[in-house]
Amino acid sequence: MQKVLDTVMGKSGFETADVPDLAGRTAVVTGGTEGIGFEVARALALSNARVLLLARKADSGEEAIRKIKDSDNPNADVVFMSCDLGNLQNVKEVADTIAKQEERLDLLIADAGVGVNKFDVSADGIDRHFSVNVLGHFLLINRLYPLIRRTSTIPGAPKPRIVQVSSDLHRAAPSSIKFASVEELEEKASQELTMTAVALYARSKLAMILLTKYGLVERVIQPNNDNILALATHPGAVATGQQDQFKECYGQVFGTMLKHMVVPFMRNPEQGSLSTLWAATSDEVEKNGWQGKYFTDPGQLGGESSQACDAELGKNVWELNEKLVKEKLGPDGLIPWGKEAEVKPEEQMAQAKGFNEPEPVLA
């Protein structure tokens, strides 16, 4: 019974009201117009951060901004930008726009994602779970990393943080997963590996933890002595629009039944946002040296699966992401991670071939 209560209510006394004043700081939140991402964005904006909402559906931006401004902060500094994480060219363009127009980036929250659903491909022809949940965020982080790094050098500024919203369902990833080749992400291979809807989702969430720990921390932050934190979180079982995907995955009748069966036992989106808000803003993270860690609740280390602690898998998934980006966007698709190769914002924009600057929905 206690486990059920923990899933619904959470274990921590941390609430959105505990988010500190963030005046002068800037955050990017993917999936920021609904569900967990919206609640994260709302809490950050109400704590006086400048918040950039990234989401695929353009018509969701104005509504999200209105709701945030109606939540006791009519002067909230919020901007929406349409971004399809399943389209690498679009991700690159949006990221380069942000890098050009923003003076700093303190928080990058990777929340957007495809839920438990059947196999399908993204605009780039890649398994959409991996494409949206993992690869799109990988490129977004890469293109924004120089801005995050510059922010980390501002005198008196708190360490910038990159938080990837994973899931405890990463434990359901099949043991056969190796992240060793592009072919492993194709439909035929997924069928051969008996990749169920849950397994497809779990694979992507496993990759997010691996990229945090063995990618960002071990390959980028530590070698470059960057004053940046990278973390992963589990929001809990949360009732969001993702449960609507059950109908697409399991059929109208059973999908609807399944949704009505599980939703009453889930957290609401505000409760689901707490682990991520805590990871993004709490002083405890830095005080305890919690770099590259995975949290299932505020202050609660997740004890991730053995797969999520496999350095070889971490190496493979990092190299697979790099390979896919370069394959789809060419050799200049990724910005070099090292300080010595850092590009200026105007140079970054010049590299974006065929660039069409997205139109932001202003606050």
The CATH number assigned to the domain holding 257 equals 3.40.50.720
HEC letters along 178-239: CCCCHHHHCHHHHHHCCCCHHHHHHHHHHHHHHHHHHHHHHHHHCCCCCCCEEEEECCCCEC
CB atoms within 10 A of CB 309: 15
User: What interhelical angle do 311-329 and 88-101 show, nearest 10?
Assistant: 90
**Cβ within 8 Å of residue 112, ≥6 positions away:** 30, 31, 32, 37, 54, 55, 56, 85, 132, 133, 136, 137
For residue 75, is it within any domain? yes
* Closest alpha carbon to 82 in 102, 103, 52: 52
CB 146 within 8 A of CB 96: no
pLDDT tens for each residue of 345-361: 666 665 554 445 555 55
Q: Name the pLDDT band for 8 (thresholds 50, 70, 90).
A: very low
Sign (positive/negative) of CA torsion 197, 199, 200, 202? Answer: positive
- What confidence score (pLDDT) does residue 194 get? 57
- What confidence score (pLDDT) does residue 198 get? 87
Q: Would you put residue 345 in left (φ > 0), alpha (ψ -120 to 50) or beta?
A: alpha
For residue 363, is it within any domain? no
Q: Chain-centre distance of CA 192, in angstroms?
A: 29
For residue 356, is it within any domain? no
Helix (H) or strand (E) holding 29: strand 26-30
Q: Name the pLDDT band for 2 (thresholds 50, 70, 90).
A: very low
* Closest alpha carbon to 363 in 29, 25, 32, 64: 64
- What confidence score (pLDDT) does residue 255 get? 58
Window from 75-79, 120-124, 137-141 with minimum mean pLDDT: 120-124
CA pair distance 361, 94, nearest whole angstrom:
13
Q: Would you put residue 303 in left (φ > 0), alpha (ψ -120 to 50) or beta?
A: left
CB 88 within 8 A of CB 122: no
What is the DSSP code (8-state) at residue 42? Answer: H
**28 vs 259: which has the higher pLDDT:** 28
As for how many domains the chain has, the answer is 1
Strand 229-233 and strand 26-30: the pairing is unpaired
Residue range 276-287: average pLDDT? Answer: 96
For residue 104, is it within any domain? yes
Question: Domain range for residue 72?
Answer: 2-351
For residue 358, is it within any domain? no
pLDDT tens for each residue of 200-249: 999 999 999 999 999 999 999 999 999 999 999 998 655 555 545 555 65
* Burial tier of 247 (Cβ tally within 10 Å: 0-12, 13-18, 19+): middle
For residue 218, is it within any domain? yes
Helix (H) or strand (E) holding 85: none
For residue 57, is it within any domain? yes
Is residue 306's pLDDT more than 80?
yes
Residue 356, token pair as written in the block = 């069409």
Is residue 173's pLDDT more than 50?
yes
Helix (H) or strand (E) holding 261: helix 252-262
- What confidence score (pLDDT) does residue 71 get? 80
CA pair distance 193, 68, nearest whole angstrom:
43
Strand 300-301 and strand 294-297: the pairing is antiparallel
Sign (positive/negative) of CA torsion 225, 227, 230, 231? Answer: positive
Window from 8-12, 69-73, 257-261, 336-340 with minimum mean pLDDT: 8-12
For residue 361, is it within any domain? no
Average predicted confidence (pLDDT) for the chain: 86
Residue range 14-35: average pLDDT? Answer: 96
Return the residue matching tokens 């109208």. 252
**Cβ within 8 Å of residue 259, ≥6 positions away:** 243, 244, 246, 247
CA pair distance 342, 319, nearest whole angstrom:
20
